[in-house]
């Protein structure tokens, strides 16, 4: 049986949001990160990497 209440292990959730621009120096590594995700949160659906083109006016 799994412990419940005070005896249960603590759960930790982390989220990072970065807004900015980046220069791509390794297109193959970027492609892999976009397709497969990044970080330890991938099994929990938290490894997604979303990108958008820079808007020029």
Going residue by residue through the chain (57 aa), what tens digit of pLDDT does each one get? 666 667 777 767 666 777 788 889 999 998 998 888 888 777 777 777 777 887 777
- CA distance linking residue 10 with residue 4, whole number of Å: 10
* Number of domain units in the chain: 1
Asked if the structure places residue 35 within a domain, the reply is: yes
Asked if the structure places residue 32 within a domain, the reply is: yes
- CA distance linking residue 13 with residue 52, whole number of Å: 25
Asked if the structure places residue 1 within a domain, the reply is: no
pTM of the model: 0.54
**Both structure tokens of 22:** 């980046």
Range of the domain at 55: 24-57
């Amino acid at each position: 049986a799994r412990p419940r209440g005070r005896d249960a292990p603590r759960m930790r959730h982390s989220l990072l949001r970065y807004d900015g621009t980046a220069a791509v120096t390794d297109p193959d590594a970027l492609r892999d990160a976009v397709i497969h995700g990044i970080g330890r949160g991938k099994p929990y659906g938290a490894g997604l990497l979303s990108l958008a083109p820079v808007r020029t006016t």
